[in-house]
């Protein structure tokens, strides 16, 4: 259920990439609000701007124009504190594969100045929650794709972020593994973690999201609750809504 409290106010975000003579406007003025405790799905075809937007919200890449307000002020004026509450789980594994899973988790905690006791307690909780206990002393190459993704999410949660950004967390995974990860993401919501989920799986968005934001060519096409979108378009599922939208565009 969406609470009324606002977490982020994203105002007119634009992102332009320039390389030589080539310029791409990846985001063309995106504005939206993110509420505490919700799961917001960013949907769109490849190149729609989902990953660009999520990386800007995570404060990895700067916006060319626009601002993101957190607690009423720009994240860029309070970046250090903002980064304490946000975590990005990217599509590609970006942890240190020369370290064991446990060491990766330990350093993820140490980077955020957690005490060793707090780190060990957190590792115990997360490894149990994500079924990683037996792998803690191992290196990542022993993990299957599903477990690798679980580990990535667990590592992202080490420092107890309030906002988790998941970039295509289930891409390339088998259907039953995707289902397992969906349940994990559902549980995060129960813990009060706000989640921004980028995906191009419409069933995933329908199952997980409180609201969906459909991006097209760097702009927001629609943003609403899945049930409202289905009612407005008189469709049975999000996939049909999405196809109807695409047909409108054609």
Partner 1 sequence: MKLFDISIYKNIIAACITGIKKTLVDRIINIIIWSSCTMLVSSYILTAFGITESFGSFQLAGLVASASFFQAYENIINLVIDFSHHRKINSWLLLPTSSLTIFAAMVTFYAITGLILGLILIPLGKILLLGRFSLMSIHWFKFFGILILSNIFFGCLSLLVAAKTTMATLGNVWHRVIFPIWFLGGFQFSWLALQKAIPGASYIFLLNPLLLINEAMRGSILGPDGYLNYWVCCAIVIAVTFVIFRAAQRALKKRLDFVI
Q: How far apart are CA 51 and CA 119, in angstroms?
A: 30
Does 37 interact with partner 1 (rule: CB under 8 A)?
Answer: no
Count of all residues that appear for the chain in the document: 250
Residue among 87 and 210 whose Cβ is closer to partner 1: 87
Cβ 112 to partner 1 shortest distance, Å? 7
- For 156-180, letters b (16+ CB in 10 Å) and e give bbbbebebbbbbbbbbebeeebbeb
Does residue 145 contact residue 172 with C-beta atoms inside 8 Å? yes
94 near partner 1 (CB under 8 A)? yes
Tokens of 146: 């599903």
Contact pick of 112, 173, 224, 233 for partner 1 (by CB under 8 A): 112
- Interaction between residue 224 and partner 1 (CB under 8 A): no
Please, which residue, 77 or 144, has the CB nearer to partner 1? 77
Contacts of 113 (CB under 8 A, 6+ apart): none
Please state the φ and ψ torsions of residue 176, each to the nearest 5 degrees. -70, -30
Q: Should residue 145 be labelled a site residue for partner 1 when binding is judged by CB under 8 A?
A: no
Does 98 help bind partner 1 (rule: CB under 8 A)? Answer: yes
Looking at residues 47 to 86 of the shown chain, list those that interact with partner 1 (rule: CB under 8 A).
58-62, 76, 79-81, 83-84, 86
95 belongs to the binding site for partner 1 (CB under 8 A) = yes
* Strand arrangement, sheet containing 219-224: 86-89, 163-167, 194-199, 39-43, 211-216, 219-224
Out of 99, 136, 173, 245, which residue is the one contacting partner 1 (CB under 8 A)?
99
Residues that bind partner 1 (CB under 8 A): 58-62, 76, 79-81, 83-84, 86-88, 90, 92-96, 98-99, 103, 107, 110-113
């Amino acid at each position: 259920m969406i609470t009324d409290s606002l977490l982020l106010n994203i105002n007119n975000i634009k992102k332009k990439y320039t390389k030589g003579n080539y310029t791409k406007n990846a985001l063309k003025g995106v504005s939206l609000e993110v509420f505490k405790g919700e799961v917001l799905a960013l949907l769109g075809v490849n190149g729609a701007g989902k990953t660009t937007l999520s990386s800007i919200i995570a404060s990895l890449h700067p916006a060319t124009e626009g601002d993101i307000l957190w607690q009423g002020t720009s994240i860029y004026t309070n970046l250090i504190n903002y980064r304490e509450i946000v975590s990005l789980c990217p599509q590609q594994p970006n942890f240190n594969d020369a370290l064991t899973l446990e060491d990766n988790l330990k350093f993820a905690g140490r980077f955020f100045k957690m005490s060793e006791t707090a780190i060990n307690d957190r590792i115990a909780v997360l490894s149990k929650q994500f079924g990683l206990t037996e792998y803690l002393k191992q290196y990542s190459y022993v993990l299957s794709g599903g477990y690798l993704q679980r580990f990535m999410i667990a590592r992202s949660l080490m420092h107890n972020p309030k906002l988790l950004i998941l970039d295509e967390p289930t891409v390339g995974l088998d259907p039953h593994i995707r289902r397992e990860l969906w349940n994990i993401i559902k549980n995060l919501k129960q813990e009060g973690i706000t989640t921004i989920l980028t995906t191009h799986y419409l069933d995933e968005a329908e199952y997980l999201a409180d609201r969906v934001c459909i991006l097209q060519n760097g702009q927001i096409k629609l943003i609403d609750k899945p049930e409202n979108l289905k009612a407005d378009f008189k469709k049975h599922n999000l996939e049909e809504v999405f196809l109807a939208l695409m047909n409108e565009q054609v």
